[in-house]
Amino acid sequence: MKETILTPETMIEELMWWIHQNEMGGDFIDPDNRFFPLYIELQKLLDHEQQKKMMKLKKDKTEMKITELQNEYTDWLVENLPRNYVENEDCSAESILYESLEGGSLKLKESQRKWLHEFCVRWDKVEPSNVHYL
């Protein structure tokens, strides 16, 4: 015998199926049936459960992408900036870009500045902010 895991979604679907088959005859959804209002409310509840599930999946995917980007950024910092700077200064991308401007305390190659800018754009797609990068 197959084990069935009873989730709210499964229970709602089963109850809707039972109402449709046993109270409405199984052919069509009858708006005049006494169980029709219950059937509609169950459908709304089912839609809500599915929406919650999709939101959780989206949140999980976003968190995975953020972790991926954080790891990539940490690797870039270690490979591209002096250890003393990484340990003692603000290493936010915005701060590094600002400090690398003419007259700033940090010198970046054009390729490093370009990578950092592109990284900021990718980060902003995952975690939108009010900061805009030139």
CA-nearest of 89, 62, 75, 81 to 119 is 75
113 or 134: which carries more pLDDT confidence? 113
Separation CA 117–CA 31 (nearest Å): 58
pTM for the predicted model, two decimal places: 0.59
Angle at 55 between CA 49 and CA 60, to 5 degrees: 125
Tens digit of each residue's pLDDT (9 = 90 or more) over 4-53: 788 889 899 999 999 999 999 888 888 999 999 999 999 999 999 999 98
CA-nearest of 119, 9, 122, 125 to 56 is 9
Specify the residue for token string 């919650």: 52
